[in-house]
Amino acid sequence: MKSFYLELNAFIGAGKKILKIDSSKAFVYTSSWSLVEQFININEKNFEIIKSNLLTIKESGIYIDKNDIVKKVLDAFDISIPFYSTNNDYLLDIMNKIIINNKYKDIDENTIHNLVKLQDIRKLSNSLNTKLYKEFMNVARNIINTEFDENLWYIMVFELLVKMVQDNTNKPIEQIMKGYNGSLDRFIYASAQYYGKLHKTDRNDYIDLEHYKYINNDITYMVSDDKIMKFFDKKRVYTVDQFLEYMK
């Protein structure tokens, strides 16, 4: 049976048609990151649109991987941190709070605080990622003389992930590397394509890359109308129409 991962773009493109798919034909899922993409942009003006998108996701009954992007990395290296083991429902809680309210101003203060916090985290993440990868690119260019060497880029992206884990756990690098289970291979490939071939950093592309942390094997297909996803992925990327046709 095929497996499909739907990023936010797919839900927006499919609209209510997503409610009519034949779920017996494939395993279909999305992630909490698709929810976060909505949360970080929500305001009074677009509240109704975002609420409608979230309601469609919920009504579809499609499985949501509720783990956040940090836990996906930790799990890939068999690292357990109590906070990430017990606090995986907060993004689903935010979604439900938005859905039950009629207007943005009706959302409770605690949820608004969490929304603002997510927006701040996104800004910080973009800033850190831009700085980190610019430094990374400069070093890489000196090593490979701007030529794209796939294996080397894979290794460098992998080492970035290892460094991130080490910074948060203080475990020996050798132990971290040994614990890797291969579940971020698609993310590593996508990142290598992006940074190795495009030589650019765009904050929206960082967001798109994160979706590949939720595709943990080679039998899953991305569903998206976003052209950058075809560039990222070594597998076929289904357009929304192709996916809907397959799932009739």
Q: What is the mean pLDDT of residues 131-149?
A: 60
Q: How far, in Å, CA of 152 to CA of 147, rounded? A: 10
Of the given ranges (3-7, 35-39, 118-122, 195-199), which has the lowest mean pLDDT?
195-199
pLDDT attached to residue 86: 61
Q: How far, in Å, CA of 39 to CA of 64, rounded? A: 15
Of the given ranges (16-20, 44-48, 204-208), which has the lowest mean pLDDT?
204-208
202 Cβ contact partners less than 8 Å away, ≥ 6 residues apart: none
Residue span of the structural domain in which 31 resides: 2-246
Structure-token pair, residue 41: 């942009």
Q: How far, in Å, CA of 24 to CA of 209, rounded? A: 29
Inform me whether the pLDDT recorded for 127 exceeds 90.
no
Inform me whether the pLDDT recorded for 192 exceeds 90.
no
Q: What is the 3-state secondary structure (H, E, C) of the chain?
A: CEEEEECHHHHHHHHHHHHHCCCCCEEEEEEHHHHHHHHCCCCCCCHHHHHHHHHHHHHHCCEEECCCHHHHHHHHCCCCCHHHHHCCCHHHHHHHHHHHCCCHHHCCHHHHHHHHHHHHHHHHHHHHHHHHHHHHHHHHHHHHCCCCCHHHHHHHHHHHHHHHHHHHHCCCHHHHHHCCCCCCHHHHHHHHHHHHHHCCCCHHHHHHHHHHHHCCCCCEEEECCCHHHHHHCCCCCECHHHHHHHCC
pLDDT attached to residue 131: 62
pLDDT attached to residue 239: 98
The count of domains in the chain is: 1
pLDDT attached to residue 138: 66
pTM for this model (two decimals): 0.88
Q: What is the mean pLDDT of residues 173-180?
A: 93
Q: What is the mean pLDDT of residues 169-175?
A: 87
Percent of the chain whose predicted confidence (pLDDT) is above 70: 82
Inform me whether the pLDDT recorded for 126 exceeds 80.
no
pLDDT tens per residue across span 1-31 = 899 999 999 999 999 999 999 999 999 999 9
Percent of the chain whose predicted confidence (pLDDT) is above 90: 53
Q: Are 39 and 51 in contact (CB under 8 A)?
A: no
> 204 or 235, which is more confident?
235
- CA torsion angle for 194, 199, 205, 210 (degrees, to 10)? 40
pLDDT tens per residue across span 210-230 = 899 999 999 999 999 998 999
